[in-house]
Structure 1
């Protein structure tokens, strides 16, 4: 549910994960509990489902729709449901967008197709987003990808064109580099001041929050929702000592999850943390190659133990 507020999208969102049963199908009961766990902390205003951490690119169309449906049924009455849209084919992307809204999503976040990493085509990118905006009557969020993701990281001219599209309400800013983040924040303030710029680089939250942000959509909040809500609140209150204390507790874990190669195993590591917390029985993903070595498991476990100090029972 989008609240009646001058700044309805402001705040922290947990980018959810997807649990699978032994046969590879969606574990609906565990996913429902995961939704409650992610949003239990005061300050978590909603979720991003069907994002990268939610294995969007590995789910079927029906599975993506069901994920949204479960989220809307479980927490939709008092939390904002944002669904990611990721498809190489534009017609398919529009179908997924319509599915998500019909299933109960409040807003959509359009991810750049992975093929865009090879080259950047201004007209194709604008056409892709325009078609999705026209396919649904819903707020749309942009995704600014990391500086290391090639053409998926929009140039300033492309981002400016996207910001001017009708229906755009926010950017999930994942540049993973603070100077780039600040450039994009300043651009949005100049050409589209109504658009929220949400600092969403899980390894760079404190510095980007300090520069200025209107929220965050991060998978770290799927395992540490209380800590992320407290970090947001501390920066909102200009309490830098408290924010630094939280940062010191969670940063080593963030670095192990997102900073270690191969970075594509971040979802696996996040799921492993849920296993360590006793919430999930396995960290199964849709990638057959996803394996955590015993040494890495021990490092993750130690870092998670330290980070959990702020989470409470």
Structure 2
């Protein structure tokens, strides 16, 4: 598998819920269908941070995959797993793979934000790869998110794992992004480095990227595709116009506290009539009216740019 084959643009989707917290299967199917109506999307990233995977049971995670597979027979499905325990993460992954996922994206356990022994980091990924037999994508965390951003020496050891085929590069810093990309190109040119700092896609695409995996594509997938295409075809002024609009919206979606990003995306999608409810599971609060108004004011210029 080459970087081109494992890369591409992936929408990190949300998981619609009803007011009682149960999965809204009808909205979920509609959401996936609307996102994939953009032909530029190679597939979906499910059960990640935007998809509130940590709030779902294993059965529910698999349900999300089954719905996605039913509406996306020709697209690739990546499934995120996040667990403090390697065996639990692998079991979640195996269930998702059985439901129709194509590959596994390993999110760092939250405890690693306080620090993790590099041996644990490598063994966790290697164990999931061995226990699932699936292609594995790394998640390079934000430089501002504690120790979940892997240092160059750890990244080099992770790239020794043969099953690794891609990296969701979420450093949210251009210098760190390029460092990751250079290491991957040196050691594993077959591994796709996919830009995933929503506010910084333009600069990452300009440096060079094998795709993206962002939750902005859950709302405006057409703009992410257009940004990528404009950069690749040298229409930089047009790309900058898209970047400017996306930046303003993304800055509000991903501002502190960051754990509200999924709730903000859901609030916008509900306001647009694309999902039936903006509900999240406790203890995530609902987005208040004033914040939703600011989000929609920033989103409208993005919608106006959709080709």
Q: Name the TM tier (shorter chain).
A: over 0.9
Deviation at 1:78, TM superposition (A): 1.3
* Paired residues of 1:97 and 1:135 also in contact (CA < 8 A): no
Q: Distance in 1 between matches of 2:241 and 2:110?
A: 37
- Between 276-285 and 99-108, report the one with greater CA deviation: 276-285
Q: Distance in 2 between matches of 1:97 and 1:299?
A: 37
| Residue 66 (1) aligns with residue 63 (2) | yes
> Of the candidates 230, 235, 238, which is equivalent to residue 242 of structure 1?
238
1:238-259 residue CA offsets vs partner (Å, 9 max, x unmatched): 221111111122221111111x
Aligned to 2:9: 12
1:155-199 residue CA offsets vs partner (Å, 9 max, x unmatched): 111111101101110000000111100111101111111101000
Give aligned pairs, total.
307
What does 1:246-265 correspond to in 2, within 5 Å?
Answer: 246-258=242-254, 260-265=255-260
| Residue 299 (1) aligns with residue 266 (2) | no
Q: Distance in 2 between matches of 1:89 and 1:138?
A: 18
1:93-112 residue CA offsets vs partner (Å, 9 max, x unmatched): 11111111111101110101
Q: Which has the higher contact order (CA 8 A, sep 6+)?
A: 2
* Paired residues of 2:3 and 2:210 also in contact (CA < 8 A): no
What does 1:264-283 correspond to in 2, within 5 Å?
Answer: 264-283=259-278
Q: TM-score, normalised by structure 2?
A: 0.97
| Residue 48 (1) aligns with residue 45 (2) | yes
Q: Distance in 2 between matches of 1:179 and 1:146?
A: 12
| Residue 146 (1) aligns with residue 138 (2) | no
What does 1:8-157 correspond to in 2, within 5 Å?
Answer: 8-75=5-72, 77-157=73-153
Unaligned ranges ≥5, structure 2: none
Aligned to 2:216: 220
Displaced runs of 4 or more, over 3 A: none
Unaligned ranges ≥5, structure 1: none
> Of the candidates 210, 230, 233, which is equivalent to residue 206 of structure 2?
210
Q: Distance in 2 between matches of 1:190 and 1:134?
A: 24
Q: Distance in 2 between matches of 1:70 and 1:102?
A: 13
Deviation at 1:6, TM superposition (A): 7.5
* Paired residues of 2:196 and 2:213 also in contact (CA < 8 A): yes
Q: Distance in 2 between matches of 1:225 and 1:21?
A: 24
Alignment RMSD, CA only? 1.4
Distance 1:44 1:155, change over 3 A: same
Q: Distance in 2 between matches of 1:253 and 1:56?
A: 23
> Of the candidates 162, 176, 181, which is equivalent to residue 172 of structure 2?
176
Deviation at 1:154, TM superposition (A): 0.8
